[in-house]
Amino acid sequence: MDDDTDSTNSLPAIGRAVTAFTIVLWSIIQYAVDGIIQWWLIYATHWIMLVVMVYLFYTVAILRYTPKPCSNTRQQPESEMALMTPPNEEGGDASPSVQTLPSPLTWRQIVCSDRVLLTESILRGIAFPGAVMISFLYWITAHDASVSIGLKLLALSEHSVMLLLMLTDMRSIRPTTDVRVMLLSFLTFSLIYTGWSLIFEKAHLHDEHGNPYIYAVVRWRENGPVTGAYAILLNALIGPATVFMCHGWSTYAKSKREDSKPASD
């Protein structure tokens, strides 16, 4: 059995998934105890936490139940694979030499031929850059040192432990189908949340503190141009950069593991 599907190697993945579930449950319970559960889903942090949790449980299912790792290359048609060698010196018939010529998947092949890996790519394309961004933005713009120790621990778990889970996951899961899928899924997700933040203000909603916005740095009504520039910076630059970093690092980690394996006879 391939080491990516070995049940023993799925134990760290199970640990990551259970940890993510515990943090999500802890966060929901804390909001319920504080009487503000109705505002739990307005925050990008909690959207990302849910995606991270689903992604980590999905990788457990892949490791334990997928019989073979999904391939990111396709089998060429026979007309493309068969390379005929020149006739031999005795004038005999040419003997065919067949070799597999891998090529990148087309969009249709990505969607139709490997839904398991497609789903993994979509979830990872949202989870990793999302975890990076919520961690970065929280500690730069939203960290509140005046809250209780319990809330500090919860914030640390939501904004840093979740990121750590994704960073450790990159070393253990095979590269995803195509970086294009990851990038498109992240951009779609980020545009949906940007639209939600705009609707939140236009509908005159408020957070648990009575503020007419979700995040203090995102105020469409008060400072639309700055908020728009901020959204473009996150969605068009920082987010895609983390997508490429995730894909590149996981590919590098995979190649290093394969290089360290003893050569088979």
Residue 262 resides in a domain: no
The answer to whether residues 40 and 64 belong to one domain is yes
The answer to whether residues 80 and 66 belong to one domain is no
* pLDDT the model gives residue 82: 44
The domain tally of the chain equals 2
Residue 88 resides in a domain: yes
The answer to whether residues 180 and 152 belong to one domain is yes
pLDDT tens series, the chain, 265 aa? 344 444 445 778 899 999 999 999 999 999 999 899 999 999 999 999 999 999 999 988 877 765 554 444 444 444 444 444 445 555 555 555 544 545 555 555 544 456 777 888 889 889 988 898 888 878 877 777 667 787 888 888 999 999 999 888 876 655 555 778 888 898 899 889 988 988 998 899 999 889 898 887 787 877 778 778 877 877 777 778 887 877 777 676 666 666 666 655 4
| CA 101 – CA 95 distance, rounded (Å) | 18
The answer to whether residues 83 and 13 belong to one domain is no
The answer to whether residues 164 and 185 belong to one domain is yes
The answer to whether residues 158 and 176 belong to one domain is yes
Length of the chain measured in residues: 265
* pLDDT the model gives residue 1: 38
Residue 255 resides in a domain: no
Residue 17 resides in a domain: yes
List CB contacts of 74: < 8 A, sequence separation 6 or more.
102, 103, 105, 109, 113
Residue 192 resides in a domain: yes
Contact 217, 230 (CB under 8 A): yes
The answer to whether residues 99 and 148 belong to one domain is no
The residue type at 76: Q
> The tokens of 95 are what?
């003997």
* pLDDT the model gives residue 70: 46
Helix/strand/coil for 83:
strand
* pLDDT the model gives residue 77: 46
The answer to whether residues 83 and 137 belong to one domain is no
* pLDDT the model gives residue 81: 42
The answer to whether residues 64 and 77 belong to one domain is no
The answer to whether residues 191 and 142 belong to one domain is yes
* pTM over the 0.85 mark: no
| Structural domain containing residue 79 | 71-106
The answer to whether residues 64 and 15 belong to one domain is yes
The answer to whether residues 153 and 192 belong to one domain is yes
* pLDDT the model gives residue 10: 74
